[in-house]
Structure 1
């Protein structure tokens, strides 16, 4: 149990030049949410007393994203290393007494339970000066190494650039994440020097400084995927892939059938009930809730939508923000909904656009029907009553109401209300001219032949 207050310092001052983007690195999305906000959410679950994001290049973007959340910021004007970056948070944490987590905005998938483990280890009876989060990647590469005994007591930590061959052979690597008491952190940082290959102030040096004072630090381990960092578009895609794999596994464990799991893409807040069947190549944007017993057919895209139990969606359906599909309703192929309600048991089976509309229970929307909701300046609403039947290729020009049980004939352009149980026919009277088509073809063929002769 954690009894001391908690604060977090999140480092986000790097330029992120390898991303080659005008958008700050830590604001690139994973599962539809900026990676920095993934991390902030995980910290928030600890009920921290304070949270500070250290900014640098592109600070305006980062500040704009976190300030509305009540997160403080500090500026690292010069990029002089991780130790220097953490030190910039001192003023924002003035007066705070408790345990401090040091995290990285480009390491977004660290879980709350791992943060708790770090804090719990910090509070154990042997009172380590710092707790380091370590991991064992498949390829240790240029990561800094953690030299520790079997009980996780750290002997030393060394950056790869400064490590000898024996130290580089160690597989336990430093993720950079730490937990340190507030009483210790800034005093140790003040003693960190930059006599190293990069000429930078390294945060891990506080472990060795504490050791020189006779205080040991400790390391706990986690999986490499949890501490994967993002410095390039390729790494962003890799972290997204890891997140999606875990989310798909959780969905299936919760009772969702994924026909081709690798082709389904969830958002960070997707909610899916039990006995839902999701066919291949379905994409969920943010803000989707799917109830029990729904089937979502292939190549459908849902965002900001609610789907009630027993509904049937797709294939090739698009549900945009505000789409509300009620119980047992049917949204068929090449149907698009936006700010629209499709009532219980209602059907829009194919080639339809329902925007700013309300469709009553049991209504049938014929193929090719559109609600004409926009006049180039304003949006207007269409209301279709219960049990109404809208014939194929109809255009309902909003604002308009189709009464319950009414029938609109195929090909109609409806510009005024239709009363309940009425039949609305909006068509030009048919006119037939016998032989006209034949005469037209003969005339045009003659003109074509004459043109060729003239050439």
Structure 2
């Protein structure tokens, strides 16, 4: 097998997106389009990958980092001109180069590998990735000879009536003999209405030189979808979401309603977990086996153990153990760590809180900037008062503490092991181990007070 290289075209502005965000950075299932392309290329045996950048160049570099080398196309003068910018990096290499667009997030490594294989088996100088469409209007048609080799690519506007009936189209992805590619690029002309240098012209140049040009036809046109506007972006999202959900279901995850379940590309889910409708699982979330997620739950960048239930709740950037019950309507904010066998009930909010094994906050509580020990019970309406308007402070609740309803714990404060906080208390000082702390005014009953008020009317 010859050396392999990749060129990703990612320099276009994407004006039809009508967006401040550079086109190839628009996300599909939580990941920028160009990152999907890079991820798939990374699964192949590629010696060098070069991404052609232009508009938004620095932002693309920030996103992709060291996963690729870069070449700058300062003026966008067409696809052939874009590939020419990689000459300094690839121009002296022997091997095969794949050229793929950065706005085709659905293309798979398996398809690109098949394209490489076809190219190498036929010993071609160029191989075009093609697909068939029911309505190919607007696409360049592939004209083959009797041996199946490519005679030419005819653009729709230039095609005869007979050629327009051909439904095999050029997808814009190619394999080239690397040396032949850069030699031919020097011969591409910009004598056209747009004054640009077009990569398909390389095909005609190679044909005129008597070189072999072939095509590999994929049976999945959807993989070749180029995203140029928000409509195509939504379609790519739908297709990618379906692909992701099917992969999880094949791996033993139950998704009750795949059409209304949104799982991003890097999520991992264990077997026999059930995902209910309306759930959004995002980022690098890892969910164990035998869990129940949803309905109407949002989880992002969390690690969740086994046999945990997250019901109609939101959890971000946190660790959640096994045999945990969360919700409904709970909010787990970033940097929280929930141990095994914990219960976080309805309308409970955690923020940067550690919750020990077997502890409970069942109703209507805010626990922020707190360390909660094992087997702690936090009563309904209790709050860790962590903010003085300028700074955040820590509340530490040790093991086996019982916090009564409607208690305010004014941080910084430590509640000692095994102690009790009486309902309605506002705690401003540390509580000793196994103490009962009562911090509220004594009840005063004024008998006949209402009658006295009535006499004054």
1:383 aligns with 2:371: yes
- Within-5 A mapping of 1:256-275: 256-275=253-272
1:45 aligns with 2:43: yes
Q: Deviations over 1:367-424 (max 9, x none)?
A: 1111233xxxxxxxx1212111111111124512212111011111123212222112
Q: Deviations over 1:200-238 (max 9, x none)?
A: 322112222222222221111121110101111111111
1:179 match: secondary structure: strand
- Report how far residue 318 of structure 1 moved: 0.7
- Change in CA separation of 1:16 and 1:252 when aligned onto 2, cut-off 3 Å: same
2:49 match: secondary structure: strand
Q: Distance in 1 between matches of 2:450 and 2:346?
A: 33
1:168 aligns with 2:164: yes
Q: Distance in 2 between matches of 1:432 and 1:36?
A: 71
Aligned to 1:428: 440
Q: Distance in 2 between matches of 1:94 and 1:177?
A: 19
Contact residue 278 and residue 296 of structure 1 kept, 8 A: yes
1:5 to 3, 6, 11: 3
Contact residue 124 and residue 177 of structure 2 kept, 8 A: no
Q: Distance in 2 between matches of 1:6 and 1:158?
A: 28
More deviation, 427-436/358-367: 427-436
1:156 match: secondary structure: strand
Contact residue 152 and residue 220 of structure 1 kept, 8 A: no
2:70 match: secondary structure: strand
Aligned to 1:320: 316
1:106 match: secondary structure: coil
Contact residue 359 and residue 386 of structure 1 kept, 8 A: yes
- Within-5 A mapping of 1:430-449: 430-434=443-447
Contact residue 162 and residue 196 of structure 1 kept, 8 A: no
Q: Distance in 1 between matches of 2:178 and 2:212?
A: 17
Contact residue 307 and residue 322 of structure 2 kept, 8 A: yes
1:329 to 324, 348, 352: 324
- Report how far residue 433 of structure 1 moved: 4.2
Aligned to 2:430: none
- Change in CA separation of 1:37 and 1:151 when aligned onto 2, cut-off 3 Å: farther
Between the two proteins, the alignment pairs up a number of residues equal to: 430
- Report how far residue 435 of structure 1 moved: 6.0
1:300 aligns with 2:297: yes
- Within-5 A mapping of 1:101-250: 101-124=98-121, 126-149=122-145, 152-196=148-192, 198-222=194-218, 223-250=220-247
Contact residue 91 and residue 179 of structure 2 kept, 8 A: no
- Report how far residue 62 of structure 1 moved: 2.3
More deviation, 21-30/53-62: 53-62
* Structure 2, unaligned runs of 5 or more: 386-392, 426-438
* Structure 1, unaligned runs of 5 or more: 374-381, 447-455
Cα RMSD for the two superposed structures: 2.0
- Report how far residue 442 of structure 1 moved: 10
Q: TM-score, normalised by structure 1?
A: 0.90
- Change in CA separation of 1:348 and 1:212 when aligned onto 2, cut-off 3 Å: same
- Change in CA separation of 1:369 and 1:172 when aligned onto 2, cut-off 3 Å: same
Contact residue 91 and residue 182 of structure 2 kept, 8 A: no
Contact residue 290 and residue 306 of structure 2 kept, 8 A: yes
Contact residue 92 and residue 179 of structure 2 kept, 8 A: no
Aligned to 1:449: none
1:24 aligns with 2:22: yes
Q: TM-score, normalised by structure 2?
A: 0.89
- Report how far residue 55 of structure 1 moved: 2.0
